[in-house]
Amino acid sequence: MSDVGPWNRILVRHVRQAFVDDAMIAGQWQSLNFTAAPDFGKAVEQYERFVELLSTGAPVYQCASRSEHLNLDSIYVRDASVMCARGAILCRMGKPLRDLEPAALAETYRALSIPIVGVIEAPGTLEGGDVTWLGPRLAAVGRSYRTNDEGIRQLRLLLGDTVDELIVVPLPHFRGPGDVFHLMSIISPVDHDLAVVYLPLMPVPFRERLIGLGYTLVEVRDEEFNSMGANVLAIAPRKCLMVEGNPRTRAALERAGAEVLAYDGSEISLKGGGGPTCLTRPISLGHWGTVHTS
């Protein structure tokens, strides 16, 4: 498995499905801990541009729509599942207001004939933003407020012999349980030996492990962490997508030989705390067979 592509499909849930309209935004943004209410019209414009850039890496597939059962957070489609060599693992969300998202995403996987390996069960919690692949048989999972020890235990069982190791990365308290803070808030692989990282919140053993694995680390400076400089999506090896407003990180990536695309994320990313990795669930078919798109 890989988090850097190439991809057969990139799954998204369109902003029209997740945000629906200004009335839905007004009724939900505060309870979901958005920093401000997104402007729906601007969000649609930004999202269309985002999808346009995504499609330069792989075909984009819209998730099945069940807007009446979901909320604004469902735009961040990565968190509801984890992909492995056997198929999809459905998560149990650490944020209770998102608990209907995995079942909704299962509809999409069935439509695409992607096997569902299993489901994280209570009292376990696991969110996809806490899981990343560092090699074909090496995964890392963040122990966070959204992903607990029981969720990690179940993930390890479901991965089975598809991995040689699952690295558990204890994450700091940072801004507390109400904030969205995943492992992928501080690391974004952009090639098999290159990752964007925010070191002040990274445990020392994990940094040392990355270096031992041969990774070159592109370090995000403090002033670009809050603008999601560390949240970078690889749409192909060394071809990546990031939120505008992070010029130092972008320049460092380009010096490392990466092609960088950028989008305006003021409404769809910054206000909800979800960058391009959060907005997508890339799919590499492997041996699963043919994706059905009808």
Domains of the chain as residue ranges with CATH: 9-283 (3.75.10.10)
What average pLDDT does the chain have? 94
Across 32-46, 51-65, 182-196, 239-253, least confident range = 51-65
**Neighbouring-strand partners of residue 261:** 241
The predicted-structure confidence for 181-192, as pLDDT tens digits, reads as follows 999 999 999 999
Pairwise CA distance, residues 218 & 221, whole Å: 10
The answer to whether residues 263 and 53 touch, using CB atoms and an 8 Å cutoff, is: yes
Pairwise CA distance, residues 24 & 133, whole Å: 35
Chain-centre distance for alpha carbon 99? 17
Exposed/middle/buried for 156, CB within 10 Å: 0-12, 13-18, 19+?
middle
pTM: 0.95
pLDDT > 60? residue 293: no
